[in-house]
Structure 1
Amino acid sequence: MLGRAAFGEPRGLPGRLGGLLMSWLNRSVERHAVLLADPAPRDTVLVIGFGPGVGLLAAAEAAWRGHVVGVDPSRIMVRTALARCAERVRSGQMRLHLGTAAELGEADDSVDIAISVNNVHLWPDRRAGFTEVRRVLRPHGRLVLSAHRGVLGNVLDEIPDELTACGFTSVEVDIDDRGVGGSVEIIGTRAG
């Protein structure tokens, strides 16, 4: 079993293998999350826990005249995504760095859309993460959380109330049973 070293805190050989699996297994979920987020061409999109970078490229394609910022706590995922997204980074459209949901390293009101795929359940303190995401979102900015249904487990019922408590409005939950295991999308909007 690959476990935490592959997916929770990717490092070493298990992290590299986990990154390969994530690239393959998360591709459709990542693209769907970007579709739901619906960035405008000039938006700034923040991708939290970007893993091997598949979702970063999808966000960069959608916000093709905007800017994409990626934050991930794993050095191996940052290196992997930098290789995958090298052209976008060189062009200045994309910036990637180490960080967590609770410590994004971005300015107040600097992001139009934040996206997190298959990792919100791994955040050590979700409320601190949601508060930090709210801080960096511009008024009326959106947070899109997406995950394979089985990944969220018991925390699914807690997340909408946590988002509301942290200043998000219009929190919507969509459970899709199509595909292997289905998926869950939770969208919250920062109040104006």
Structure 2
Amino acid sequence: MTMHERQQQNLGVVSGLLMQMFGRPKGLLGRLGGIILARTKRDFIQWVIPLLEVHPDSKVLEIGFGPGVAIQILAATASTGFVAGVDYSHEMVEQARARNAKAIESGLVELQYGSVEKLPFADDTFDRTLAINSLQVWFDAMAGLREMRRVMTVGGKIALGFNRSSGQSSTGLTEMLTEAGFIDAHLVKTEAGFCVLAIK
């Protein structure tokens, strides 16, 4: 095996470990990744959520909620509404349910295991949707965006947030949202990352 081949193999191993911790968290590494995400991403989450203009009676859906930090913040904001989440990681569903146990018990929050490409909700259910640092690991980003649009009410707002460590480029994202059927897609930047916003 050449030096280049060994380097490529090592990169593949590291990439696989990072995916297990942060991309599609799984097993012990996934649980550890969730703990790290909960501690390190709160400031960025608190920057993204106000961009959505959530009201007390808003119905909000988060895709890829991870350890449930944004769900917790959203539940406090949409206190008379409804907050739902779908995540592809059993470990993250478990962590997020523990973090939001009281809100789940009261019926304010509902968290499910599942895929963005096939959301378990009726058309026109949510007036706000978001995904933070997750679009880049979806199996089919366009299908996921179209599904998010399907479950949104007309005039509803979507936010896709990415911090600097996400590895996601901002290039082409507003065009993707437009292609998925959204309008008024635009980019907002901060030192910590960026967010793409649009309307159904």
TM-score by length of 2: 0.89
Number of the residue aligned with 2:101: 86
- Which consecutive unaligned segments of at least 5 residues does structure 1 have? none
Q: Number of aligned residue pairs: give it.
A: 185
Moved over 3 A (4+): none
The answer as to 2:120 corresponding to 1:105 is yes
Q: Which amino acid is the alignment partner of residue 196 of structure 2? A: I
**1:167 maps to which residue?**
181
Q: What do the CA deviations read for 1:167-187 (whole angstroms, capped 9, x no partner)?
A: 10011101212xxxx211100
Deviations 1:102-147 (A, max 9, x none): 1121110000100111111111111101100110000010111111
The sequence identity of aligned pairs, in percent, is: 34
Distance 2:115 2:194 in 1: 22
Please state whether the residue corresponding to 1:164 is helix, strand or coil.
Answer: helix
> Is 1:188 equivalent to 2:198 in the alignment?
yes
Q: Distance in 1 between matches of 2:128 and 2:162?
A: 17
Give 1:25 deviation, angstroms.
1.4
In 2: Cα distance, 1:160 partner to 1:100 partner: 22
Matches within 5 A, 1:1-192: 1=14, 2-154=17-169, 156-177=170-191, 182-190=192-200
1:149 to partner: Cα distance: 2.9
Question: What one-letter code is carried by the residue in structure 1 that aligns with 2:143?
Answer: A
Aligned residue type for 1:72: D
Greater Rg over alpha carbons, structure: 2
User: Match of 1:59, as an amino acid?
Assistant: L
Partners of 1:151 and 1:10 in 2: CA distance: 14
Separation of aligned partners in 2, 1:5 and 1:152: 16
Task: Give the structure 1 partner of residue 9 of structure 2.
Answer: none
Q: Which runs of 5+ in 2 are unaligned?
A: 1-13
Please give the alpha-carbon distance, in whole angstroms, between the structure 2 residues aligned to 1:32 and 1:100: 25
Please give the alpha-carbon distance, in whole angstroms, between the structure 2 residues aligned to 1:122 and 1:137: 22
Q: CA RMSD in A?
A: 1.1
